[in-house]
Amino acid sequence: MTASLYLYLFVALFVTTSIFGLLFLTQFSEKRETMRNYRIAKRLLAIAFFCVAIGNLAEILGYTGKPIDTSSQDFFLTQIVTLSIGVTQAFILTLVCVLLLDIRSVDSKKLKIQIFVIVLYVFAAVATYILLPISASKISILYLSAAYCVILVYFTNYFIRRYRAFRLAMDNFYSDDVADRMRWIAVAFYGALGTGVFALIFIQFPFFELSVAFNLFLLCFYTFFGIKLLNYPWQFEIIEAPMAEKINDEQIQEEQNSITKAISYGDVSHFNSDKTIENWVEEKHFLKSGITMDDLAKFLGTNRTYISSCFNTEKGISFRQWINFLRIDEAKHIIVDNPKITMVELASRLGYADTSTFFRQFKAKEGIQPSAWKQENLPN
């Protein structure tokens, strides 16, 4: 029964990865320049999926049902191949996740270094198998595994930094937590990381049951990633505006020179003689649902990139945090002036899409739910 399940999983993986690989290459996608990274990501993932499909097909054709002989030359080869494929997959999947987060080009210099390291690792792994005797396999696999772990840690750190930058860009543009809609990219990355760790565990402890669990995990991961990637174009518009603007240093400096004559960096208030942030707040524009940094920039007649920089460096908060602070302060005034107002109506007046978001933001700022704040601050 277990052997049959083992083969069924390999067949399912072969079919799943083959179908998704074909879809990545043939699915229609817009030719917009801003979606260039998505098209590159699909091709890269198609390569990764086809490699997995070929590996699964080879496993199906070569399956004998015999127990694994951990002292054989074949098992040594399996370990080398697993580590080489694992580190290559880690690179490709990390790059794909980064490309999906940032519609601009990645750092070409850093990319070349990463490719060089991956190629060097695979070359070292192959050379180890060819040049070293089977008696040295354990120590060589140990060193290769250590290097493998270092590479996984590097890619994890690299992705986390890029994901934080992505969330900051989103929070500096939207008043709502829109970045949560793209959290699946982080889930996909950590799923890829999990497959890498799983592969490392398997070459150290090659139990049949562990192999079955590993393949089941792979089937779930590749299905999830494939579906999400195919649906990405329908989510693209929420990251297109925040991530598309790219202003060079000369433009930013020119903007700063024209603005610093009229403002104090301490309060980031006056951007021209007619309209200020105080005017914007007094007119309660922050209560509009779905308000963005572009709306504020248009009101002030300035550049949203510079305003974002002012918020981050001078105020130490993002645009979304600032909007939530304003809304929660307004909520307290409304509760005092109109104690009978319902929480649903209050959340709507404040511009929140749903009541749960309002509750979460209120508690984050005040430490208690709005109903509890009302009981503490209003007379019975």
Cα(361)–Cα(47) distance, rounded to whole angstroms? Answer: 43
Model pLDDT for residues 274-313, shown as the tens digit of each residue: 567 888 989 999 999 889 998 888 888 877 777 777 777 7
The span from the CA of 363 to the CA of 35, in Å, is 38
Task: From 150, 156, 138, 155, select the one nearest 203 (Cα to Cα).
Answer: 138
Entry pTM: 0.83
280 Cβ contact list (under 8 Å, min separation 6):
286, 296, 299, 300
Q: How far is CA 29 from each of CA 46, 162, 244, rounded to the nearest angstrom? A: 15, 25, 18
Q: What is the mean pLDDT of residues 254-270?
A: 38
Helix (H, G, I), strand (E, B) or coil at 270: strand
The CA-based dihedral angle spanning residues 292, 293, 299, 300, taken in that order and rounded to the nearest 10 degrees:
170
pLDDT in tens, 316-375: 788 899 999 999 999 999 999 998 889 999 999 999 988 998 999 999 899 999 989 988
**pLDDT band at residue 65 using 50, 70 and 90 as cut-offs:** low
Distance CA(83)–CA(142), nearest Å, equals 11
Q: Is 56 within 8 Å of 10 (Cβ atoms)? A: yes
Dist CA 361 CA 229 (whole Å): 31
Any idea what the Cα angle at residue 50 is, between residues 49 and 56, rounded to 5°? 90
Q: Locate tokens 């270092």: which residue? A: 150
66 Cβ contact list (under 8 Å, min separation 6): none
